[in-house]
Structure 1
Amino acid sequence: MILVLDVGNTNIVLGIYSDDELIVECRLSTDSRRTADEYGIQVKELFHLHKLSIEDIKGVIISSVVPNIMYSLEHMIRKYFHTQPIVVGPGVKTGINIKYDNPKEVGADRIVNAVAAHELYKKPLIIIDFGTATTFCIISEKGDYLGGVICPGMRIASDALFERAAKLPRVELVKPETIICKNTVASMQAGIIYGYIGQVDYIVNKIKEEMRALGENEPLVVATGGLSKLIYEESNTVDLINPILTLQGLKIIYEKNMK
């Protein structure tokens, strides 16, 4: 079995693969104040809950956008799993050619998503990840990472309204039945959800224009991340959602680096 960890600003998504099957997917809150032992205890409890043994894990791979948590996580892996984890970054084989001005600026999660989508779909791609930030990654048919777009995530927008406007409440991110709303909570939900749907469709259409100018064929638009379903249901441009895209990418990169 392989343990894969996707460390985001809000959550750590933990997956366990048995051969090609994802048998466990769990979320822990990201907290750089936790020690290696605190994370180790949490992970051991998860293994116990799913009736799995830590001794069955033969390898671990991590992608992270939170540098100050990595000491605790890497120490936890070495102490409890008795192995050195692969950490996605410079020197790790991905099969993706990054065309950024400075390739080191591309977040590990975006690289992992690109690897997974390129391997799975074999097409030009626009990958949208709805996390703390909403990111758009553009991949050519031959696997070049052409660039991207970064926007504030929906939760950031919602929290900003609550924190900066004295009379506005904190709201749950659910889609109201109509965009013309008759109370403050629903009005905020409509503005955030439908506003992001419009943002996504506009950005995707502009990206497609530029991809056509570069000679690329029509791209497949893939959405992932915890809030992707909200957008997919109303979007005119998102072709499919893949909620485990990052975990699939981590497994693919692990296998590339074990050959």
Structure 2
Amino acid sequence: MLLAIDAGNTNIKFALVNDDGTPRSRWRIATDARRTADEYAVWLIRLIELEGLTREVVTDVAISTVVPRALYNIQSLALKYFGVEALVAGRAPLEYGIALDVDEPRSVGSDRACNAIAAHAGHPGDLIVISFGTATTIDHVDFSGAYKGGIIAPGLNLSLDALVAAAAKLPRIAIEAPATDTVIGRTTESQMLIGIYWGYVAMIEGLVSRMKAEIGRPVQVIATGGLAALFQQHSHLFDSVDADLTLKGLSLLWRRSVKAPM
């Protein structure tokens, strides 16, 4: 069974992947580049056992990472505790196999490339892929599956952290959907929540609208990332939401590169 690992700036996601490419079990841990292979193993092997499995079910490991400093310890985890050499997205034999039609292809994050692979495999035509993470990325994947570029904006939590850190009297608030659609808050907390939440909705609406106009063809909007569900109730923003998009793309990339095609 494939162990797919998606190392982001905030969290590292681990998933055991079924033969059909869908994640069977998923876990996440806060990203800490100092965390050792042994620390990962104590946590992960116990979680695998709680699923009624043993670590021997892991026969392959594939990694997508945007945190270079975390890579060595994750590779060490694969070798020491699962007895396999981990394969890394973007490196042979896990080269992306899609056109990165941008000025600096080497700078494209492996998470965005994996998202493009999975989105194109699951949806026809031109796509806009929105990933809510430490940064919010909005990417164009064209009808051929080529990655055409996109937008990077501060993530929701990053924006809120910056606001609270810079304004001494503002409290830390939980990020959630406001109870009403009003945009005139009557308390400091409600005004902050409106600014963060509805401000983000407005940003997404505006950027997606401009991107669609620039593409000039029918487009579907696919959302992923930990905070995608927060905006899912505003169904007009997205055509679909897939929390496992990056992991699915990594699994599909591994199958295309190493295994027989599904």
TM-score, normalised relative to structure 2: 0.94
Which of 180, 191, 195 is equivalent to 1:191? 195
Q: Does 1:168 align with 2:177?
A: no
- 3-state SS of paired residue (1:249): helix
What is the aligned partner in structure 2 of residue 87 from structure 1?
A: 88
CA contact (8 A) 1:100 1:146 kept: yes
CA contact (8 A) 1:99 1:146 kept: yes
Distance in structure 2 (CA, Å) of the matches to 1:121 and 1:234: 21
Q: Where do 1:42-61 residues align within 5 Å?
A: 42-61=43-62
Distance in structure 2 (CA, Å) of the matches to 1:180 and 1:229: 24
- 3-state SS of paired residue (1:97): coil
Q: Where do 1:1-259 residues align within 5 Å?
A: 1-20=1-20, 21-91=22-92, 92-178=94-180, 179-212=183-216, 217-234=217-234, 236-259=236-259
Letter in 2 for 1:241: V
Distance in structure 1 (CA, Å) of the matches to 2:18 and 2:204: 35
CA contact (8 A) 1:196 1:231 kept: no
State the shift of 1:119 in Å: 0.8
Gaps of 5+ in 1: none
* CA RMSD, Structure 1 to Structure 2 (Å): 1.2
Letter in 2 for 1:61: A
- 3-state SS of paired residue (1:173): coil
State the shift of 1:186 in Å: 1.7
State the shift of 1:89 in Å: 1.7
Q: Which moved more, 1:160-169 or 1:82-91?
A: 82-91
Deviations 1:114-172 (A, max 9, x none): 00001111221000000000001101101111111000000001101110000001111
Distance in structure 1 (CA, Å) of the matches to 2:29 and 2:138: 25
State the shift of 1:95 in Å: 2.9
Q: Which moved more, 1:27-36 or 1:89-98?
A: 89-98
Distance in structure 2 (CA, Å) of the matches to 1:182 and 1:49: 47
Deviations 1:9-33 (A, max 9, x none): 1101111112124220111111111
State the shift of 1:237 in Å: 3.5
Distance in structure 2 (CA, Å) of the matches to 1:18 and 1:46: 17
- 3-state SS of paired residue (1:127): strand
CA contact (8 A) 2:90 2:96 kept: no
State the shift of 1:40 in Å: 1.3
Aligned length in residues: 255
CA contact (8 A) 1:127 1:137 kept: yes
State the shift of 1:206 in Å: 0.6
State the shift of 1:93 in Å: 3.1
State the shift of 1:232 in Å: 2.9
Letter in 2 for 1:110: R
Q: Which moved more, 1:192-201 or 1:41-50?
A: 41-50
Distance in structure 2 (CA, Å) of the matches to 1:177 and 1:229: 16
State the shift of 1:235 in Å: 5.8
Distance in structure 2 (CA, Å) of the matches to 1:69 and 1:95: 25
Gaps of 5+ in 2: none
State the shift of 1:48 in Å: 1.4
